[in-house]
Structure 1
Amino acid sequence: MSAAVPAPAPKRTTDRDIRIGARIRARRELMRLSQTDLGNALGVSFQQVQKYELGTNRIGAGRLEEVAELLGAPVASFYDEPGPVRVPEPLSVAEARAAQRAATSALEEAVRREAAARGEAA
């Protein structure tokens, strides 16, 4: 009889996860989106977004790519950069409205997909 193989220990969050989360939060706030707005667009709860932003939960590469796309930022902007941290320029009103429309559109599409999966009319 062979011995049971123990499950691998869960990966712990690191200072890097905290820094990435802080950058997600800064960009989300710059875009004037709530945690609920971002969570809905990603298909996760606002609590999950909160955990990503605090570095409590690690964010996977695919999810980070989704976040970057929704927030209109390159993925690399969430990672450490050599030298001083650059603060992005504030958005113009037109850019902020366009970003809000894009987030709303993504949310509406997610709601339509979920309704279709349940066989409901959106």
Structure 2
Amino acid sequence: MLEVITKGPIVITEVVKSTPLDTTKDPYDEVQIKSKTDFTTEERKQDELDNLAKSIIFEAVPDKYVTKIIKCKTAKEMWDILERLCNELEKIKETKLSIACQKFDTFLMLKN
């Protein structure tokens, strides 16, 4: 599941024998994306991992972030957006802490 989130959806391929236009050459193997109608049970499970990961992310994310990720087509896209948002929030926290420290350093007690 983590691989689907960090690297993207699993693409199921198959090897197909192709014949070159020149009949004097040997046939060669060609890799192509497998049709969903030809999937085995195990391949269907792998194909559904991205949808499962997307639904888990939707359930785990607070409502204020759902609007930012709702249009994503893959779990990886969602993950990348959430990662960027978290990094931005971390920078904002650091900036606020820095400002608070500066205000504290310049804080003076009045005479009264």
Is the TM-score greater than 0.5? no
